[in-house]
Structure 1
Amino acid sequence: MRLCVFCGSSSGRQAVYGEAASQLGRALANAGIGLVYGGASVGLMGAVANAALQAQGEVIGVIPRSLWEKEVAHTALDDLRIVDSMHQRKALMAELSDGFIALPGGVGTLEELFEVWTWAQLGYHHKPCALLNTDGYYDRLIGFLDHLVEEGFVKPVYRDMLIVEDTIDGLLAAIHAYTPPSVAKWIQRDET
Protein backbone atom coordinates (compact mmCIF):
# COMPACT_ATOMS: atom_id res chain seq x y z
CA MET A 1 0.00 0.00 0.00
CA ARG A 2 1.09 3.56 -0.73
CA LEU A 3 -0.47 6.76 0.55
CA CYS A 4 -0.05 10.15 -1.04
CA VAL A 5 0.58 13.01 1.38
CA PHE A 6 -0.25 16.57 0.37
CA CYS A 7 1.30 19.22 2.60
CA GLY A 8 3.03 22.56 2.72
CA SER A 9 6.37 23.41 1.19
CA SER A 10 6.60 25.69 4.23
CA SER A 11 6.75 24.55 7.84
CA GLY A 12 4.11 26.96 9.12
CA ARG A 13 4.27 28.97 12.33
CA GLN A 14 3.65 26.17 14.80
CA ALA A 15 6.28 23.51 15.52
CA VAL A 16 3.49 20.96 15.97
CA TYR A 17 2.92 20.87 12.20
CA GLY A 18 6.45 19.68 11.49
CA GLU A 19 6.28 17.25 14.39
CA ALA A 20 3.06 15.73 13.02
CA ALA A 21 4.56 15.45 9.52
CA SER A 22 7.58 13.62 10.94
CA GLN A 23 5.38 11.36 13.06
CA LEU A 24 3.27 10.50 10.01
CA GLY A 25 6.34 9.70 7.92
CA ARG A 26 7.63 7.34 10.63
CA ALA A 27 4.19 5.77 11.13
CA LEU A 28 3.82 5.05 7.41
CA ALA A 29 7.27 3.47 7.20
CA ASN A 30 6.75 1.43 10.37
CA ALA A 31 3.43 0.13 9.00
CA GLY A 32 5.02 -0.84 5.68
CA ILE A 33 3.06 1.84 3.83
CA GLY A 34 4.88 3.65 1.06
CA LEU A 35 4.87 7.44 0.88
CA VAL A 36 4.12 9.32 -2.32
CA TYR A 37 4.56 13.08 -2.08
CA GLY A 38 5.57 16.20 -3.98
CA GLY A 39 9.31 15.50 -4.03
CA ALA A 40 10.55 18.62 -2.24
CA SER A 41 13.17 18.80 0.50
CA VAL A 42 11.65 21.80 2.25
CA GLY A 43 8.83 22.50 4.71
CA LEU A 44 6.41 19.80 5.80
CA MET A 45 7.16 17.93 2.58
CA GLY A 46 10.78 17.55 3.61
CA ALA A 47 9.80 16.60 7.17
CA VAL A 48 7.45 13.76 6.17
CA ALA A 49 9.92 12.40 3.60
CA ASN A 50 12.95 12.61 5.89
CA ALA A 51 11.15 10.78 8.68
CA ALA A 52 9.97 8.02 6.35
CA LEU A 53 13.48 7.65 4.92
CA GLN A 54 15.05 7.51 8.38
CA ALA A 55 12.61 4.71 9.26
CA GLN A 56 13.63 2.80 6.10
CA GLY A 57 10.30 3.42 4.35
CA GLU A 58 9.56 3.58 0.65
CA VAL A 59 9.42 7.21 -0.51
CA ILE A 60 8.47 8.29 -4.01
CA GLY A 61 8.76 11.97 -4.86
CA VAL A 62 7.10 13.55 -7.89
CA ILE A 63 8.23 17.03 -8.82
CA PRO A 64 7.81 19.30 -11.85
CA ARG A 65 11.01 20.13 -13.72
CA SER A 66 10.56 23.85 -12.97
CA LEU A 67 10.78 23.18 -9.21
CA TRP A 68 13.57 20.64 -9.61
CA GLU A 69 15.58 23.31 -11.42
CA LYS A 70 15.10 25.69 -8.47
CA GLU A 71 16.90 23.13 -6.29
CA VAL A 72 14.04 22.34 -3.92
CA ALA A 73 13.97 18.68 -4.97
CA HIS A 74 14.87 16.08 -2.35
CA THR A 75 18.19 14.70 -3.60
CA ALA A 76 18.34 11.83 -1.07
CA LEU A 77 15.36 10.00 -2.60
CA ASP A 78 15.97 6.71 -4.37
CA ASP A 79 12.83 7.34 -6.45
CA LEU A 80 12.39 10.94 -7.58
CA ARG A 81 10.25 11.32 -10.68
CA ILE A 82 10.59 14.54 -12.64
CA VAL A 83 7.59 15.54 -14.75
CA ASP A 84 6.85 18.46 -17.06
CA SER A 85 3.90 20.08 -15.32
CA MET A 86 1.83 20.32 -12.15
CA HIS A 87 -0.96 18.45 -13.95
CA GLN A 88 1.37 15.53 -14.66
CA ARG A 89 2.60 15.63 -11.07
CA LYS A 90 -0.90 15.28 -9.63
CA ALA A 91 -1.90 12.60 -12.11
CA LEU A 92 1.17 10.49 -11.39
CA MET A 93 0.85 10.92 -7.63
CA ALA A 94 -2.77 9.76 -7.86
CA GLU A 95 -1.85 6.81 -10.07
CA LEU A 96 0.86 5.64 -7.66
CA SER A 97 -1.31 5.95 -4.54
CA ASP A 98 -3.98 3.91 -2.79
CA GLY A 99 -5.26 6.88 -0.78
CA PHE A 100 -4.64 10.52 0.06
CA ILE A 101 -3.85 12.47 3.23
CA ALA A 102 -3.68 16.26 3.58
CA LEU A 103 -1.51 17.71 6.33
CA PRO A 104 -1.45 21.44 7.00
CA GLY A 105 -0.56 23.45 3.95
CA GLY A 106 -1.62 26.31 1.74
CA VAL A 107 -3.59 26.77 -1.45
CA GLY A 108 -1.69 24.06 -3.33
CA THR A 109 -2.42 21.50 -0.60
CA LEU A 110 -6.10 22.38 -0.64
CA GLU A 111 -6.24 22.25 -4.44
CA GLU A 112 -4.66 18.80 -4.48
CA LEU A 113 -7.02 17.48 -1.82
CA PHE A 114 -10.14 18.93 -3.42
CA GLU A 115 -9.21 17.54 -6.81
CA VAL A 116 -8.81 13.94 -5.61
CA TRP A 117 -11.90 14.24 -3.40
CA THR A 118 -13.88 15.50 -6.42
CA TRP A 119 -12.59 12.57 -8.46
CA ALA A 120 -13.82 10.22 -5.71
CA GLN A 121 -17.22 11.91 -5.67
CA LEU A 122 -17.51 11.45 -9.43
CA GLY A 123 -16.49 7.81 -9.16
CA TYR A 124 -13.20 8.23 -11.03
CA HIS A 125 -11.51 6.37 -8.17
CA HIS A 126 -12.58 4.67 -4.95
CA LYS A 127 -9.60 5.62 -2.79
CA PRO A 128 -9.91 7.24 0.64
CA CYS A 129 -9.28 10.98 1.01
CA ALA A 130 -8.37 12.27 4.46
CA LEU A 131 -7.41 15.30 6.54
CA LEU A 132 -5.05 15.03 9.49
CA ASN A 133 -6.45 17.87 11.56
CA THR A 134 -3.26 18.69 13.43
CA ASP A 135 -3.89 20.98 16.39
CA GLY A 136 -7.24 22.05 14.91
CA TYR A 137 -5.62 23.42 11.74
CA TYR A 138 -8.58 22.45 9.57
CA ASP A 139 -11.38 23.28 12.03
CA ARG A 140 -12.64 26.27 10.04
CA LEU A 141 -12.49 24.37 6.76
CA ILE A 142 -14.43 21.48 8.30
CA GLY A 143 -17.06 23.96 9.49
CA PHE A 144 -17.30 25.41 5.99
CA LEU A 145 -17.67 21.96 4.45
CA ASP A 146 -20.54 21.29 6.82
CA HIS A 147 -22.04 24.63 5.73
CA LEU A 148 -21.91 23.44 2.09
CA VAL A 149 -24.04 20.47 3.12
CA GLU A 150 -26.48 22.68 5.05
CA GLU A 151 -26.88 24.91 2.00
CA GLY A 152 -27.54 21.99 -0.34
CA PHE A 153 -24.37 22.17 -2.45
CA VAL A 154 -22.82 18.95 -1.18
CA LYS A 155 -24.75 15.78 -0.38
CA PRO A 156 -24.05 14.33 3.08
CA VAL A 157 -22.83 11.08 1.53
CA TYR A 158 -20.07 12.98 -0.30
CA ARG A 159 -19.16 15.07 2.73
CA ASP A 160 -18.84 11.85 4.71
CA MET A 161 -16.35 10.52 2.15
CA LEU A 162 -13.71 12.88 3.54
CA ILE A 163 -12.05 11.26 6.53
CA VAL A 164 -11.14 13.74 9.26
CA GLU A 165 -9.01 12.62 12.20
CA ASP A 166 -6.96 14.38 14.86
CA THR A 167 -4.50 11.52 15.45
CA ILE A 168 -2.30 9.50 13.14
CA ASP A 169 -3.46 6.19 14.60
CA GLY A 170 -7.10 7.20 14.10
CA LEU A 171 -6.36 8.41 10.59
CA LEU A 172 -4.63 5.23 9.47
CA ALA A 173 -7.34 3.06 11.04
CA ALA A 174 -10.05 5.05 9.23
CA ILE A 175 -8.18 4.79 5.94
CA HIS A 176 -7.85 1.00 6.31
CA ALA A 177 -11.56 0.72 7.19
CA TYR A 178 -12.75 3.01 4.37
CA THR A 179 -15.51 1.75 2.11
CA PRO A 180 -16.57 4.04 -0.73
CA PRO A 181 -20.27 4.89 -0.75
CA SER A 182 -22.56 3.20 -3.21
CA VAL A 183 -24.47 5.98 -4.94
CA ALA A 184 -26.49 5.27 -8.08
CA LYS A 185 -26.36 8.76 -9.57
CA TRP A 186 -24.23 11.78 -8.89
CA ILE A 187 -27.04 14.24 -9.61
CA GLN A 188 -30.78 13.81 -10.03
CA ARG A 189 -32.57 15.31 -13.04
CA ASP A 190 -34.81 17.44 -10.83
CA GLU A 191 -31.71 19.05 -9.30
CA THR A 192 -30.49 20.53 -12.60
Structure 2
Amino acid sequence: MTAEHYFSTDPDAPMRRGEIEFSVAGRDYRLAVASGVFSAGRLDPGTAVLLRKADLPGAAVEGDLLDLGCGYGPITCVLASEAPRATVHAIDVNSRARELTSENATKLGLGARVRVSAPDDVPEEVRFAQIWSNPPTHVGKAELHALMERWLPRLAPGGVAWLVINRNLGGDSLHAWLVERGRQVERVASQKGFRVLKVTLPGATS
Protein backbone atom coordinates (compact mmCIF):
# COMPACT_ATOMS: atom_id res chain seq x y z
CA MET A 1 0.00 0.00 0.00
CA THR A 2 1.43 3.37 -0.95
CA ALA A 3 1.43 6.60 1.01
CA GLU A 4 -0.40 8.29 -1.87
CA HIS A 5 -3.38 6.01 -1.24
CA TYR A 6 -3.97 6.55 2.44
CA PHE A 7 -3.07 10.25 2.39
CA SER A 8 -5.47 10.87 -0.49
CA THR A 9 -8.82 12.52 0.08
CA ASP A 10 -10.51 9.96 -2.18
CA PRO A 11 -8.33 6.86 -2.71
CA ASP A 12 -8.12 5.47 -6.24
CA ALA A 13 -7.25 1.95 -5.07
CA PRO A 14 -10.01 -0.63 -5.64
CA MET A 15 -11.87 -1.21 -2.39
CA ARG A 16 -10.87 -4.67 -1.19
CA ARG A 17 -12.48 -5.24 2.18
CA GLY A 18 -11.34 -7.41 5.05
CA GLU A 19 -11.34 -7.62 8.84
CA ILE A 20 -8.70 -7.51 11.54
CA GLU A 21 -8.88 -8.58 15.17
CA PHE A 22 -6.94 -7.31 18.16
CA SER A 23 -7.29 -6.96 21.93
CA VAL A 24 -6.68 -3.92 24.14
CA ALA A 25 -7.15 -3.71 27.90
CA GLY A 26 -8.99 -7.01 28.01
CA ARG A 27 -11.44 -6.11 25.24
CA ASP A 28 -11.54 -7.85 21.87
CA TYR A 29 -12.12 -5.86 18.70
CA ARG A 30 -13.00 -6.95 15.17
CA LEU A 31 -12.91 -4.07 12.72
CA ALA A 32 -13.62 -3.75 9.03
CA VAL A 33 -10.67 -2.60 6.92
CA ALA A 34 -10.16 -1.88 3.24
CA SER A 35 -7.43 -1.13 0.73
CA GLY A 36 -6.54 2.51 0.34
CA VAL A 37 -6.53 3.03 4.13
CA PHE A 38 -3.46 3.04 6.37
CA SER A 39 -2.36 -0.38 7.64
CA ALA A 40 -5.36 -2.28 6.32
CA GLY A 41 -3.63 -5.65 6.69
CA ARG A 42 -3.09 -5.54 10.45
CA LEU A 43 -3.15 -3.31 13.48
CA ASP A 44 -0.22 -1.00 12.83
CA PRO A 45 2.69 -1.77 15.21
CA GLY A 46 2.93 1.87 16.27
CA THR A 47 -0.77 2.03 17.09
CA ALA A 48 -0.45 -1.21 19.02
CA VAL A 49 2.41 0.22 21.10
CA LEU A 50 0.46 3.44 21.73
CA LEU A 51 -2.64 1.59 22.93
CA ARG A 52 -0.56 -0.69 25.12
CA LYS A 53 1.80 1.87 26.67
CA ALA A 54 -0.19 5.13 26.95
CA ASP A 55 -2.68 5.74 29.75
CA LEU A 56 -6.07 4.90 28.30
CA PRO A 57 -8.90 7.15 29.52
CA GLY A 58 -10.89 5.79 32.41
CA ALA A 59 -14.64 5.42 32.74
CA ALA A 60 -14.88 8.77 34.54
CA VAL A 61 -13.32 10.77 31.69
CA GLU A 62 -15.75 13.23 30.12
CA GLY A 63 -15.61 15.84 27.40
CA ASP A 64 -14.19 15.62 23.91
CA LEU A 65 -11.37 13.33 22.81
CA LEU A 66 -9.63 13.51 19.45
CA ASP A 67 -8.27 10.71 17.28
CA LEU A 68 -6.06 12.61 14.86
CA GLY A 69 -5.68 10.59 11.67
CA CYS A 70 -8.17 7.90 12.59
CA GLY A 71 -7.69 5.49 9.67
CA TYR A 72 -10.32 2.76 9.96
CA GLY A 73 -10.82 3.61 13.63
CA PRO A 74 -8.86 1.36 16.01
CA ILE A 75 -7.92 4.19 18.38
CA THR A 76 -11.39 5.73 18.12
CA CYS A 77 -13.10 2.46 19.01
CA VAL A 78 -10.79 1.83 21.97
CA LEU A 79 -11.23 5.36 23.34
CA ALA A 80 -15.01 5.24 23.00
CA SER A 81 -15.12 1.83 24.68
CA GLU A 82 -12.88 2.83 27.58
CA ALA A 83 -14.48 6.25 28.18
CA PRO A 84 -18.27 5.81 27.87
CA ARG A 85 -18.96 9.35 29.11
CA ALA A 86 -16.77 11.03 26.50
CA THR A 87 -17.33 12.03 22.88
CA VAL A 88 -14.65 10.92 20.45
CA HIS A 89 -13.91 13.02 17.38
CA ALA A 90 -12.34 10.90 14.65
CA ILE A 91 -10.77 12.89 11.84
CA ASP A 92 -8.98 11.87 8.68
CA VAL A 93 -8.44 13.40 5.25
CA ASN A 94 -9.22 10.02 3.67
CA SER A 95 -12.94 9.63 2.95
CA ARG A 96 -12.70 5.84 2.87
CA ALA A 97 -11.08 5.85 6.30
CA ARG A 98 -13.91 7.98 7.67
CA GLU A 99 -16.52 5.62 6.24
CA LEU A 100 -14.83 2.62 7.86
CA THR A 101 -14.51 4.36 11.21
CA SER A 102 -18.21 5.20 11.20
CA GLU A 103 -19.06 1.62 10.25
CA ASN A 104 -16.84 0.12 12.93
CA ALA A 105 -18.05 2.44 15.67
CA THR A 106 -21.66 1.70 14.79
CA LYS A 107 -21.12 -2.07 14.80
CA LEU A 108 -19.62 -1.82 18.28
CA GLY A 109 -22.55 0.23 19.56
CA LEU A 110 -20.39 3.35 19.89
CA GLY A 111 -21.79 5.41 17.05
CA ALA A 112 -23.78 7.81 19.23
CA ARG A 113 -20.58 9.04 20.90
CA VAL A 114 -18.29 9.11 17.88
CA ARG A 115 -18.13 12.12 15.57
CA VAL A 116 -16.36 11.30 12.32
CA SER A 117 -15.36 14.19 10.09
CA ALA A 118 -12.78 15.71 7.82
CA PRO A 119 -10.31 17.95 9.69
CA ASP A 120 -11.82 21.20 8.43
CA ASP A 121 -15.28 20.17 9.64
CA VAL A 122 -14.44 20.04 13.37
CA PRO A 123 -16.13 23.04 15.04
CA GLU A 124 -13.54 25.66 15.99
CA GLU A 125 -14.88 26.01 19.52
CA VAL A 126 -14.27 22.36 20.46
CA ARG A 127 -11.41 21.81 22.90
CA PHE A 128 -10.10 18.37 23.67
CA ALA A 129 -9.43 16.71 27.01
CA GLN A 130 -7.16 14.26 25.19
CA ILE A 131 -5.60 14.01 21.73
CA TRP A 132 -4.42 10.63 20.47
CA SER A 133 -2.42 10.16 17.29
CA ASN A 134 -0.16 7.90 15.31
CA PRO A 135 0.65 10.78 12.97
CA PRO A 136 1.62 10.32 9.31
CA THR A 137 5.38 10.77 9.41
CA HIS A 138 5.72 10.04 5.69
CA VAL A 139 4.10 13.35 4.80
CA GLY A 140 7.38 15.03 5.74
CA LYS A 141 8.67 17.07 8.66
CA ALA A 142 7.08 20.36 7.60
CA GLU A 143 3.63 18.79 7.21
CA LEU A 144 3.98 16.91 10.48
CA HIS A 145 4.94 20.06 12.34
CA ALA A 146 2.02 21.92 10.77
CA LEU A 147 -0.29 19.16 11.97
CA MET A 148 0.99 19.50 15.54
CA GLU A 149 0.80 23.30 15.43
CA ARG A 150 -2.80 23.12 14.28
CA TRP A 151 -4.16 20.63 16.80
CA LEU A 152 -2.09 20.71 19.99
CA PRO A 153 -3.25 24.26 20.86
CA ARG A 154 -6.79 22.86 20.96
CA LEU A 155 -6.08 20.90 24.11
CA ALA A 156 -8.34 21.98 26.94
CA PRO A 157 -6.73 23.23 30.17
CA GLY A 158 -5.22 20.18 31.85
CA GLY A 159 -5.46 18.21 28.63
CA VAL A 160 -2.90 15.72 27.34
CA ALA A 161 -1.83 14.49 23.93
CA TRP A 162 -0.53 10.96 23.39
CA LEU A 163 1.62 10.49 20.29
CA VAL A 164 3.49 7.50 18.90
CA ILE A 165 6.35 8.10 16.47
CA ASN A 166 8.79 5.72 14.81
CA ARG A 167 12.23 6.49 16.20
CA ASN A 168 13.78 6.12 12.74
CA LEU A 169 11.20 8.42 11.17
CA GLY A 170 11.75 11.41 13.40
CA GLY A 171 10.55 10.37 16.84
CA ASP A 172 13.41 12.02 18.71
CA SER A 173 13.52 15.09 16.48
CA LEU A 174 9.78 15.63 16.98
CA HIS A 175 10.30 15.37 20.74
CA ALA A 176 13.00 18.04 20.56
CA TRP A 177 10.93 20.26 18.27
CA LEU A 178 7.93 20.11 20.61
CA VAL A 179 10.11 21.12 23.55
CA GLU A 180 11.52 24.01 21.51
CA ARG A 181 7.94 25.15 20.92
CA GLY A 182 7.29 25.27 24.66
CA ARG A 183 5.44 21.97 25.06
CA GLN A 184 6.01 19.76 28.05
CA VAL A 185 7.02 16.38 26.65
CA GLU A 186 7.65 13.11 28.43
CA ARG A 187 8.79 9.95 26.69
CA VAL A 188 6.72 7.36 28.52
CA ALA A 189 7.75 4.31 26.52
CA SER A 190 10.09 3.11 23.81
CA GLN A 191 9.24 -0.22 22.25
CA LYS A 192 9.82 -1.93 18.90
CA GLY A 193 11.40 1.23 17.51
CA PHE A 194 8.52 3.50 18.52
CA ARG A 195 8.46 6.39 20.97
CA VAL A 196 5.32 7.10 22.97
CA LEU A 197 5.21 10.78 23.92
CA LYS A 198 2.98 12.47 26.47
CA VAL A 199 2.53 16.12 25.56
CA THR A 200 0.95 18.87 27.67
CA LEU A 201 0.76 22.62 27.41
CA PRO A 202 2.87 24.79 29.73
CA GLY A 203 1.40 24.96 33.20
CA ALA A 204 -1.11 22.17 32.52
CA THR A 205 -1.84 19.43 34.98
CA SER A 206 -2.76 15.92 33.93
TM-score by length of 2: 0.46
Structure of higher CA gyration radius: 1
Larger relative contact order (Cα-Cα within 8 Å, sequence gap ≥ 6): 1
TM-score by length of 1: 0.48
